[in-house]
Amino acid sequence: MKASQIPAELTQVLYTKEQVDDRLRDVAAEIDAEYGDKDLLLVGVLNGAVMVMADLSRALRSHVEMDWMAISSYGSGTQSSGVVRILKDLTTDIEGRHVLVVEDIIDTGLTLAYLMQNLASRKPASLEIMTMFRKPEALKNPVSVKYVGFDLPDEFVVGYGLDYAGRYRNLTDVGTLAPHVYA
């Protein structure tokens, strides 16, 4: 779905599919330069990271393995609840592995801080974060992010994996959701 198909539901388009694709290729090149000779495990955070993980893994020139976790702190609202739950854990042992956590968005940082602490306790060789989007103004719990696609304003944004109540993940552009949609 394209933003042009739902103009009344968005107040603005922040990034087009082409801009997202270009930036993702640049980030993939940075990751290849860092991990090209290492055994890298990508850990996608469901459900939002599906789009990022798929496109990132295809843009990489080196071999990677993938695993998934499902973490929740939202429910169906537009603000993080602050309560983090692991809904699906890894199936891969990460001890001694180089792990890159792939996120769709970091806003408050609460969920990711919890996740990173949890994963660090499993003794990986290295543990870093790649996020396609970050909201610096919304950050409440600082987390060290090695690879960032784009910074976003502190508004409710949808598209490219970002959702509202499970909808808009398949929107190829990234835009600000109109308040009347979630009010």
Any catalytic annotation for residue 107?
Answer: yes
CA distance to 49, 56, 90, 96, 180, per residue, from 149 (Å) = 13, 11, 25, 27, 28
**Could you say which of 107, 151, 154, 163 is catalytic?**
107
DSSP for residue 79: S
User: Under 8 Å CB-to-CB from 150, ≥6 apart: which residues?
Assistant: 14, 15, 20, 23, 132, 133, 134, 174
149 near 27, Cβ under 8 Å?
yes
Q: How many CB atoms lie within 10 A of CB 67?
A: 17
User: Under 8 Å CB-to-CB from 149, ≥6 apart: which residues?
Assistant: 20, 23, 24, 27, 52, 131, 132, 133
- For the annotated catalytic residues, the residue numbers are 107
